[in-house]
Chain A
């Protein structure tokens, strides 16, 4: 199994039909997946192509439909590139 990305997951969801979601039998892992599920909702609502990065596509190239990336959309959709990126809002790193 490759490391998962939103792009890979979005492809898998699409392949397994509407309403498919990702989950875990471990509560801790499932909590982490809550963020992923939100991302996937955004991906679904904005069309899958918009969340795929070049990098994700290269990792996903063995999947059918793996060549979906249009990197020109990347800057507008990747969370690092939002005005208030969710990942980089402190506290992080040197504070907990």
Chain B
């Protein structure tokens, strides 16, 4: 049975400050919905200022101690450094007036990065994530310029600049199952990155994506080996799946049972549900809500946002019967969409997720144990088997 989840006030916005991009990635979900071309290329100062007003209002009304803004696109750096500076300075002013702390985050392809931008990130504490799909021969397959040229060298240069300035940053790659994950991991570790994520390619249930199970099982093996004696490698997707299998909680919205509550602000100030849902087709996320007529909290009354949230934890029959219901949570919501059934489908990656989690589960069983005060260890598999055995009284278990 699905659970209900109490809603906290909105404390996080995904803000599309640019509706266009400066590169032409073949797999981008954003431009699969042509209605994005009807949006302003860049967020205007009027929209920016109204957004800041709404954020301050939200913080005050709900006594929020923190608020996060993820600047996204398109390519958000197309918005220009002056807009970034102004936004950051205004956030600081709001923070001074309200006491609410701000997290300013940026996801970028890194192509426009230069020393001036680095100054801006450093000065305003903007936390940067760079998209790079591993080594050049994998990255440049999909992430190309509009003229068809490669982009890897520019992105790697941006990473080197961030490293030289010691500005902390994250790395996001998209899985390409045609290659062994060792190629991704070796590339990242060779350039000094040991904390990254490799995310699933965006699809809907109607797509027929290549299988990714072997890639992630191999990636898990690499992660396990690297972290055997000390913590050397952090791969968010792997750790989120593992956390779910171990009774913990996912670090990403793309995996694990829970509500999808992202509010996206577009360059014209309109308010929409999770941006990746655009992958469902033209205008599929459009709403009548915008930051001029609505408060941020109003998004909770918006029908499409509500439908997405409801679907995110009301899973299909197959998911409800699955042993990985909680660890998987049906996977990422967009991957469940079909025109015929809406979100009432398993993930397009359901078979892969099942294979990955079954494999992880079998490996975890060998590495996880109960540690007793006597110093004895009981393997987790044995502990569960013992607990299932009807003839063993509990007193005997405790004495083992």
Query: Across the interface, which residues of B come within 8 angstroms of A20, CB to CB?
Result: 370-373
Q: Across the interface, which residues of A come within 8 angstroms of B65, CB to CB?
A: 84
**Once the chains bind, are A87 and B247 in contact (CB under 8 Å)?**
no
Residues of A within 8 A of B253 (CB): 88, 92-93
Query: With an 8 A cutoff between CB atoms, is B96 at the interface?
Result: no
Hey, which chain A residues are within 8 Å of B153, CB to CB?
A: none
Q: Which residues does chain B contribute within 8 Å of A49, judged by CB atoms?
A: none
- Judged by a CB distance under 8 angstroms, whether B250 is at the interface is yes
Q: Is B246 an interface residue (CB 8 A)?
A: yes
Known interface pairs A18-B373, A87-B256, A96-B170. Does A64 touch B394 (Cβ–Cβ under 8 Å)?
A: yes
Q: Is the CB of B3 within 8 A of A56?
A: no
Q: Does B178 make an interface contact (CB < 8 A)?
A: no
Q: How far apart are A67's CB and chain B's nearest CB, in angstroms? A: 14
Residue pair A95, B170 in contact (C-beta under 8 Å): yes
Q: With A3-B357, A23-B371 as known contacts, state yes or no: A32 contacts B103, CB within 8 Å.
A: no
How many of B's residues come within 8 Å of A, CB to CB? 87
| Residue from B129, B249, B262 with most neighbouring chain A CB atoms (10 Å) | B249
- The answer, yes or no, to whether B293 is at the interface (CB within 8 Å) is no
Binary per-residue interface labels of chain A (65-95) against chain B in the complex, 1 for a CB within 8 Å, 0 otherwise: 0000001001100111111111111111111
| A42 interfacial by beta-carbon distance below 8 Å | no
Distance in Å from the Cβ of A80 to the closest Cβ of chain B? 5
Given the known inter-chain contacts A15-B397, A27-B227, A81-B5, please indicate yes or no for A93 contacting B262, CB distance below 8 A: yes
0/1 per residue, A1-40, Cβ < 8 Å to B?
1111110110111011111111111111101110110010
Instruction: Judge whether B367 is part of the interface by a CB distance below 8 angstroms.
Output: yes
The answer to whether B70 touches A27 (Cβ under 8 A) is no
- Complex Cα distance, B229 from A88, in Å, reads 30
Task: Give the contacting residue for B72; candidates A80, A86, A94; CB below 8 A.
Answer: A94
Are A74's CB and B3's CB within 8 A?
yes
CB under 8 Å from chain A, chain B span 73-112 = 103, 105-107
**CB <8 Å contact, B68 and A93:** no
Q: Within the complex, what minimum Cβ distance (angstroms) separates A12 from chain B?
A: 5
Q: Total A-B residue pairs with C-beta atoms closer than 8 Å? A: 213
A95–B70 touching, CB < 8 Å: yes
- Determine the chain B residues whose CB is within 8 A of the CB of A78 once the complex forms: 3, 5
Query: Chain A CB within 10 Å — which of B261, B370, B381, B385 has the most?
Result: B370
Which interface residue of B105, B229, B247, B259 has the most chain A CB atoms within 10 A?
B247
Q: Which residues of A contact B387 (CB under 8 A)?
A: 11-12, 15, 63-64
Q: When the two chains form their complex, are residues B127 and A22 in contact, meaning their CB atoms are under 8 A apart?
A: no
Q: Given A2-B323, A56-B326, does the pair A94, B370 have CB atoms closer than 8 Å?
A: no
Contact A33 B246 (CB under 8 A): yes
Smallest CB-CB separation from A22: which chain B residue? B370
Report the Cα distance A66→B373, complex, angstroms.
Answer: 24
Q: Are B70 and A24 in contact (CB under 8 A)?
A: no
The answer to whether B224 has its CB under 8 Å from any CB of chain A is yes
* Chain B residues whose C-beta falls within 8 Å of the C-beta of A88 in the assembled complex: 8, 12, 253, 258, 261
Tell yes or no: A45 within 8 A of B by CB: no
Chain B residues closer than 8 Å to A95, beta-carbon distance:
70, 105-107, 127, 129, 170, 172
A-B residue pairs in contact (CB < 8 Å), sample of 19: A1-B365, A3-B247, A3-B357, A6-B247, A11-B387, A12-B370, A12-B384, A20-B370, A22-B368, A24-B369, A26-B228, A36-B247, A55-B1, A55-B325, A59-B323, A64-B388, A78-B5, A94-B107, A96-B170
Chain B residues near A (Cβ < 8 Å): 1, 3-6, 8, 11-12, 14, 65-66, 68, 70, 72, 103, 105-107, 127, 129, 170-172, 195-197, 223-224, 226-231, 233, 236, 239, 242-254, 256-259, 261-262, 323-327, 357, 361, 364-365, 367-373, 378, 380-381, 383-388, 390, 394, 397-400
10 further A-B pairs in the complex, CB-CB below 8 A; given A16-B370, A64-B387, A74-B3: A21-B371, A22-B380, A25-B369, A27-B231, A28-B231, A35-B248, A82-B8, A87-B250, A87-B256, A95-B129
Q: What residues of chain A have their CB less than 8 Å away from a CB belonging to chain B?
A: 1-6, 8-9, 11-13, 15-29, 31-33, 35-36, 39, 53-56, 59, 62-64, 71, 74-75, 78-96
| List of 5 A-B pairs having minimum Cβ-Cβ separation, nearest first | A28-B227, A96-B170, A19-B373, A17-B398, A93-B253
